[in-house]
Amino acid sequence: MTLPQRIVDFVNPRAKHQFKGRTCSIRSVGSYVPEKILTNHDIAQRVNTSDEWITSRTGIKERRIAAADQYTSHLAANAALDALKKGDVKPEEVDLIIVATITPDMPFPATACLVQKIIGAEKAAAFDLEAACSGFIYGLEIGQQFIMSQTCNTVLVIGAEKLSTIIDWEDRNTCVLFGDGAGAAILQNRPDSHGLLTTVMGSDGNKGDLLCMPAGGSKNPANGDTIKDRLHYLRMDGRETFKHAVNAMYKAAREVLNRCQLKISQIKHIIPHQANKRIISAVSDRLQATKDQVFINLDKYGNTSAASVAIALDEAAANGCLKRGDLILLVVFGAGLTWGAAIIEW
């Protein structure tokens, strides 16, 4: 596909007044989900709900649940090893590991450091970032900066969550939505490729209380009262979150399309955050996208937060949906509130 001149100029190191950095492409992707499947029927045994109720409102049929001795670092490392294998990249070639998560193994050290140890990436710097469901796109943009500036040659970006540990299994409005899993991407410069074309990121801390975990930090450290009041579980205002998610995802998607001077018809695949089928449908309709353009796998995994888009991207690639040169739109929304969108030349 011929890209607009604006994008060609942006990535052309000889272009006047443009940053003379390297482009950044996704060399490979990988993912991992736990073996245990929790179906809607299983949840209906715990709370007052049904498969029909959950499916009609969310599009989710089942989700994966990690074992008690399986931590976020384990999920992340498995996804990372999958991406490394697919890209024929050795762990010692990795210069930087970024893990996007809201369910780290512990407050510190960073889960990324634990992943570094597991996969044997001894030369890599490592850190975590927290942008909830938007974390993977934030991680791609941050990783790209290290590639473009020539600080790093190989960056490993991982979205990983063990959300089952912060879900209130007595709250039917939230426990039906979330699952565990991880996805990863290897970023490198690929000569003669545009790679990551542009990214939009946004946030609105004024609405941070719409989706949060009230306790466990410095504001409400763990004590008898926070445990009794169940403040260590995820809380969400579903109605308001839905409304803001649709608006923010649509605006972010439109902005990246406008920056690249692209029409939605030029996008081969749209991979949205896999949170709720009604949110995905509303955003797709406003973008005037076709059903064939939109990749959905939330029926199998539910909302895996920062891992969501990464797992979907890997599944789309594994299914043969993505071909070299295809333009892909990623669009996300999460707690913070945060949101983002990116266009990638595969």
Residues 6+ apart with CB under 8 A from 250: 283, 286, 287
Token pair for residue 269? 């695949």
Residue 303: active-site member: yes
> Which of 74, 194, 269, 273 is flagged as catalytic?
273
> Which of 78, 189, 276, 303 is flagged as catalytic?
303
CA 64 to chain centre: 16
Strand residues in 168-277 grouped as ranges (E) = 180-188, 196-203, 211-212, 235-236, 269-272
Interior CA angle at 180 toward 147 and 120, to 5°? 45
Residue 273: active-site member: yes
Residue 48: active-site member: no
CA distance 246 to 123: 41
Interior CA angle at 225 toward 224 and 227, to 5°? 70
Residues 6+ apart with CB under 8 A from 105: 71, 72, 73, 111, 114
In Å, how far are 133, 136, 263, 335 from 58, measured between CA atoms? 16, 22, 29, 18
Contact 15, 61 (CB under 8 A): no
Contact 322, 260 (CB under 8 A): no
> Which of 113, 133, 152, 175 is flagged as catalytic?
133
CA distance 219 to 224: 15
Specify which residues 330 forms β-bridges with.
271, 342
Q: What is the DSSP letter of 132?
A: G
Residues that are catalytic: 133, 273, 303
